[in-house]
């Protein structure tokens, strides 16, 4: 038995249980679950619009959804990448999340509909995200964006893509990122950590689904020696020169240890970082957004993003976080 926080334990039956090996059923079940999410009601007007932006060379355009709070000055921006194990999800998956973030952090939010595996394995999804960032950096001023203050964030597979995007920007000399916000990110296809081996029956994500997800994304290369760090950022030898990071890890999550290890390596590389670690939680527990535990996590995420995007200084951790600096 797992010692879940009481408010989460009371709601476990409300969560979908899926087997990613049956991908059509998984996609249908998760679309249905997203359709039942409670609508978020912004406290102020948020303009929402879909558009197609130029894709990577030789690839189709990328669908994005832009959320613009009413403002009379240039605003920072957040590119937000949806969850879904690299194989499921679309613009609807984090629609309510993006509305909430645009409202509460006072920023333009760009929701990216990147291509999915196995139909489009690595690097298709990542290159779509990179193309969306390049478009935002080039055209953002027309959206009222201060292009010197762009952050990237995501959840689960989206968190892994956000980390990979930060690495790609550094290595390619791409548009500068102000922050990276990684919620229970999928970072390591090897699945050799204690948590990745131990949690075979946990809610929302378990070892089996993680294994299947990485095989869809990387094919036969998954778990081998030749995987690109842009596919699995935990494999990167050098994490120096990356933007300040917030990394969230949940106690009963197969991805817990890879997230914590990555966060510690960022700190050791001199990257200003905050670690959010929440006992009694499980992967993607923020889906139960009306619980006190989920609200605590979401408030922490919002405050860090708001502080970092609206200050000229690197964001300072609030009580309970781990400050960055040379280890």
* Residue 8 near residue 293 (C-beta atoms within 8 A): yes
- Among residues 95, 156, 195, 206, the one annotated as catalytic is 156
* Residue 194 near residue 149 (C-beta atoms within 8 A): no
- Among residues 82, 95, 278, 283, the one annotated as catalytic is 283
String of b and e for 207-234 (b: at least 16 CB within 10 Å)? bebbbbbbbbbbeebbbeeebbbbbbbb
For the question of residue 37 being annotated catalytic, the response is: no
Residue 285 per-residue DSSP state: G
Sign of the Cα torsion 244, 255, 210, 218 reads: positive
For the question of residue 310 being annotated catalytic, the response is: no
Q: How far are the Cα atoms of 76, 102, 167, 176, 180 from residue 288, in angstroms, in the given order?
A: 28, 20, 31, 33, 23
Sign of the Cα torsion 131, 133, 137, 139 reads: positive
* Residue 283 near residue 254 (C-beta atoms within 8 A): yes
- Among residues 128, 206, 253, 257, the one annotated as catalytic is 253
For the question of residue 228 being annotated catalytic, the response is: no
Helix (H, G, I), strand (E, B) or coil at 193: coil
Catalytic residues: 156, 253, 283
């Amino acid at each position: 038995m797992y010692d879940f926080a009481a408010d989460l334990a009371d709601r476990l039956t409300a969560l979908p249980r899926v087997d990613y090996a049956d991908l059509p059923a998984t996609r249908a079940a998760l679309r249905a679950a997203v359709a039942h999410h409670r609508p978020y009601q912004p406290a102020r007007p948020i303009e929402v619009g879909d558009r197609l932006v130029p894709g990577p060379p030789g690839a189709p355009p990328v669908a994005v959804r832009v959320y613009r709070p009413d403002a009379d000055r240039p605003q920072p921006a957040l590119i937000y990448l949806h969850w879904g194990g690299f194989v499921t999800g679309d613009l609807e998956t984090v629609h309510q999340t993006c509305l909430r973030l645009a409202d509460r952090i006072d920023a333009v939010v760009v929701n990216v509909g990147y291509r999915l595996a196995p139909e489009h394995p690595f690097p298709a999804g990542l290159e779509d995200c990179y193309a969306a960032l390049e478009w935002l950096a080039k055209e953002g001023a027309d959206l009222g964006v201060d292009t010197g203050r762009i952050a990237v964030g995501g959840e689960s597979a989206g968190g892994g893509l956000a980390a990979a995007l930060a690495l790609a920007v550094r290595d390619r000399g791409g548009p500068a990122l102000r922050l990276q916000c990684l919620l229970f990110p999928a970072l390591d296809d090897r699945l050799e950590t204690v948590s990745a081996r131990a949690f075979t029956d946990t809610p929302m994500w378990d070892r089996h689904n993680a294994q299947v997800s990485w095989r869809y994304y990387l094919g036969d290369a998954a778990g081998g020696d030749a995987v690109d760090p842009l596919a699995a950022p935990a494999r990167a030898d050098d994490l120096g020169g990356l933007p300040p990071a917030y990394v969230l890890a949940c106690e009963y999550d197969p991805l817990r240890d890879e997230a914590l290890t990555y966060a510690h390596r960022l700190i050791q590389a001199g990257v200003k970082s905050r670690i959010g670690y929440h006992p009694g939680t499980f992967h993607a527990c923020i889906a139960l957004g009306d619980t006190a535990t989920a609200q605590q996590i979401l408030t922490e995420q919002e405050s860090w993003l708001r502080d970092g995007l609206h200050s000229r200084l690197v964001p300072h951790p609030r009580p309970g976080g781990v400050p960055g600096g040379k280890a």
